[in-house]
Amino acid sequence: MSDMDTRTLHLLLFSVGGICFGVDAGQVAEMTAYNGESDVDLFWFHEEMGYADKAVRYQSPIIATIKAGMGSQYRVVIDSMEDIAEFSQSDISPFPSMLEQFVLRRGCWGILLRQKQMIVLLDFRRLLRERSSE
Amino acid sequence: MEPSHEQLKSELILNELKKRQRTKEVVDVEEERVKVVFFTCGESQYAFYGTDIREILPSFDISWVPGLPDYLPGLINVRGDIESVIDLRYFLGEEKVNHGKHLIAMAVRGDFHSGVMIDSIEDVIDIPLSTIHPPLATLNGAARDLVIGGIEYGGKTISLLDVGKMATLITV
């Protein structure tokens, strides 16, 4: 990968339960409206991320199809999709080292500050890798 | 004229001054003082060494992040720096009360730095080091791992918490 590839990131931004996330848009194969389906291979974001007892109410659920590698796909219901925006790598902060061991297990790898709002950067492929190794 | 070997008055005075200074230094060592920050967490009062607390921040929005254990409620944005937050109550066996109104004490020791949720600041004072006594043997649970001493303050014994021990407890 060249320097040019990592200098900027195109992030798909969405929120679930009041927490804003950013995912590399290159990981997303497709976005479709959620119409109440309950397929066994369709996951809910808050369950995948271990929201536990936090109350989560989806406002405008959307199914994101993630390129999971090796030609496979992973479908997850996310919420309140905002847009795809370009961010500079220099705007990204790593998590405080004390937290890394916990958050990386959930695929969360960095923080982006946008107008004082924290955006949690999420790598779905990392999340899936961690999940398969558990 | 050959200089006299008689001790000069100025030398006598200077020697006396130096002698006094040395005595004062000995006294100062004996009376070494440390700054401590008294605060409340839950229903009890505790203290940190003042040198371990960089600043006290007013109530902050703590951003939760997936995957964090209960004692790490999330992150705060301190003037553009992302800092973790520790909920001490988890270790001290204190009830979760008044969750919306808390202060953040920024604790720093070596490479370790993190916000610590506290309920209020009671006092910041200098105390003689000698007034800190060993922790009570009756302490139990995780609190025993955090406490390095007791301080008599306001008619009560306040547990002095060690930021270094807190860092070890969390990062291990």
Number of H helices, E strands in chain B: 4, 11
Mean pLDDT of A52-60: 85
What's the confidence (pLDDT) of residue B105? Answer: 96
pLDDT of residue A64: 95
Chain A segment 27-46 residues within 8 A of B by beta carbon are none
Ordered by start, the domain boundaries in chain B are 33-169
**What domains are defined for chain A?**
8-133 (2.30.30.40)
Structure tokens at A3: 């320097």
User: pLDDT by residue (tens digit) across B124-156?
Assistant: 999 998 889 988 777 666 678 899 999 998 888
Calculate mean pLDDT across residues A31-57: 89
Backbone angles phi, psi at B20, to 5 degrees: -65, -40
Segment B40-56 mean pLDDT: 94
Nearest-CA neighbor of B39 among B96, B116, B146? B116
Using the beta-carbon criterion (under 8 Å), do B82 and A108 form an inter-chain contact?
Answer: no
Contacts of B172 in chain A (CB under 8 A): none
Q: Would you call B75 and A19 a contact, using CB atoms and an 8 Å cutoff?
A: no
The pLDDT of residue A3: 45
What integer pLDDT is reported at residue B76 of this predicted model?
95
pLDDT reported for residue A47: 92
Q: b or e along B152-164 (b: 16 or more beta carbons within 10 Å of the residue's beta carbon)?
A: ebeeeebbbbbbe
- Kindly give, in sequence order, each residue whose CB lies less than 8 Å from that of residue B9, ignoring residues fewer than 6 positions away: none
Q: How is residue A8 written in tokens?
A: 């900027």
Distance from CA of A3 to the nearest CA of B (A): 25
**Set of chain A residues whose Cβ sits within 8 Å of the Cβ of B75:** 95-96, 99, 111, 118
Q: Tell me whether residues A99 and B75 touch, CB distance under 8 A.
A: yes
φ/ψ (deg, to 5) at B65: -130, 135
Q: What is this model's ipTM?
A: 0.84
For B171, the 3-state DSSP assignment is helix
Q: Which residue of A has its CA nearest to B169?
A: A98
Give the pTM: 0.81
Q: B110 — contact with chain A (CB < 8 Å)?
A: no
In CATH, which of 2.40.50.180, 1.10.3300.10, 3.30.420.40, 3.40.50.300 is domain B33-169? 2.40.50.180
Looking at the partner chain, which of B64, B77, B112 has a beta carbon nearest the beta carbon of A113? B77
Q: What is the pLDDT of residues B52-106, one digit of tens each?
A: 999 999 977 899 999 999 899 999 999 999 999 999 998 888 876 555 678 999 9
- Helix or strand run (H / E) with residue A108: strand A108-114
Q: Do A103 and B65 touch (CB under 8 A)?
A: yes
B58 part of contact set with chain A, CB < 8 Å: no
Structure tokens at B61: 């929005």
Quote the CA–CA distance of A19 and A55 in Å, as a whole number: 12
DSSP B5: -
Q: Chain B within 8 Å of A109 (Cβ-Cβ)? A: no
B170 CB contacts (<8 Å, ≥6 apart)? Answer: A98, B71, B72, B86, B114
Percentages (nearest 5) of helix, strand, coil residues in chain B: 25, 40, 35
Rounded to whole angstroms, how far apart are CA atoms B62 and B75?
5
> What does the pLDDT read at residue B145?
84
Query: Is B104 in the A-facing interface, judged by CB distances under 8 Å?
Result: no
Is the Cα torsion angle B35, B41, B45, B46 positive or negative in sign?
negative
